[in-house]
Structure 1
Amino acid sequence: MFYSPRILPLSLLLLLGACSPDAGQKDPVAEAQFQNEKRIGNENVTEKQERDAEFMVNAASDGLLEVELGKLAQQKATTPAVKNFGQHMAEQHAEANSALKALAEQKGLVLPGGLGNEQQETYRELSGLTGSAFDKQYMAAMVADHKKDVDAFEDMSEDAYDGDIRGFAAKYAPVLKQHLEMAEQVNDQVEELP
């Protein structure tokens, strides 16, 4: 194969550009939303299908954050209840994330492959904390996140356009409700910490 002297440096630059840290600076959540909107727009589908896709992307990004924060809690938490909660979240959300990924593949939807900018910021904030400050902030975040997730999953269990997505939301809404109750109990314990 013959390479032109001009093409080889250009292709090397493109290859290096793809590997550079700046190439990975795109927000995975925004990129997944964009890819889904583009596909949905090309297929001339309804607004309800767009809402389904948005729900799937948001559920995936929240699930990824729950797993990462659960791992962080296992390392940084000072309270055994917080460590246990973190372990439970990492395991349960990893399982739900796998089911979500399989459903997205079946539906031809793109999910984020990593934490979005908003989730990265939450992770950075919590990873900078230590001691009881970490325990309190982590549990407060878990209560807030699970309230938002329960609302979204309950809504989509009734309103999703796609029956499989409706079924997924219906299956995991009670699980998220349990997580919320657990988070509120542990949060009540750590609020009293100095």
Structure 2
Amino acid sequence: MKKTILISLLAAGSLLAGCTTDDPVRQAKEQSVQQLEAAGITNMENDALFAAEAASSNLLQIKLGQTALEKAVSPEVKALAEQLANDHRQMEDELETLGSQTHLVLPASLGKADKDVFDAINEKSGIAFDLAYIKAMEEQHDRLTQRYEDMAKNGVSMEVKQYAARQLPLLQMHLQKATKLEEVVDDAS
């Protein structure tokens, strides 16, 4: 009997260990949900995940922008990188204010998916860096635009919905600029 209990405890422990995550986005989401539920606020899982993902994405844009200013070859890529980094820094400042007002925990570092994107681009240099950066910016901003549109319509918290709606035109502009720059680069190659 003791052996069965021990085996059951070990199995449960390994299941729990498998559920833990080193992803700062998931950790922030879980902390947000716990804090919100402790305050009596429920059904905020998607809002909490959105806030954590948005923070990680802002950090990615800032970090990639700074890297592109150092590594990019094309002046157009550097100009786009500078604008994106500045705009996402402002978005992050606003998100941090929102987080402090609404019990939403934001990650202080890149989430796993965003870290993978950064690492894949950062390992390149020269024109390969420029091409990878432009492609990633288009893909990232396409994804962000869709996610922010969804949250502007379907967020639970009015504050989260308003934040998403306010940022959406800027993200759409970023997507247009990245798409246009990618088309220019594709035509040149």
TM-score, with length taken from structure 1: 0.81
Partners of 1:85 and 1:64 lie apart in 2 by 16
What is the DSSP-based 3-state SS (H/G/I as helix, E as strand, rest coil) of the residue aligned with 2:64? Answer: helix
Q: How does 1:64-143 map to 2 (within 5 A)?
A: 64-143=59-138
- Alpha-carbon deviations, 1:91-143, whole Å to 9, x = none? 00001000000001100110000112222221111111011111111111100
Tell me, yes or no, if the aligned pair for 1:40 and 1:50 is still in contact at 8 Å: no
From 155, 159, 168, the equivalent of 2:154 is 159
Equivalent position amino acid for 1:90 in 2: A
Q: Which residue of 2 aligns with 1:13?
A: none
Between the two proteins, what is the percent identity of the paired residues? 31
C-alpha distance in structure 1 between counterparts of 2:23 and 2:149, whole Å: 27
Aligned position for 1:12: none
CA RMSD of aligned residues (A): 1.7
2:27 aligns with one of 15, 26, 31 = 31
Partner of 2:42: 46
Superposed CA offset, 1:47-105 (max 9, x none): 3x221111111111111101101111111111111010000011000010000000011
2:167 aligns to what?
172
Taking the aligned partners of 2:46 and 2:115, their CA distance within structure 1 comes to: 24
* Cα shift at 1:43: 4.6
2:55 alignment counterpart: 60
CA contact 1:140–1:187 (8 Å) conserved in 2: yes
1-structure distance, mates of 2:91, 2:172: 14
Letter in 2 for 1:27: D
Amino acid at match of 1:39: Q
Asked whether the 8 Å contact 1:154–1:169 carries over to 2, the reply is yes
Which runs of 5 or more structure 2 residues have no equivalent in the other structure?
Answer: 1-20
* Distance apart, 1:45 and its partner CA: 3.7
CA distance in structure 1 between the aligned counterparts of 2:113 and 2:148, rounded to whole angstroms = 20
The answer as to whether partners of 2:25 and 2:49 remain within 8 angstroms in 1 is no
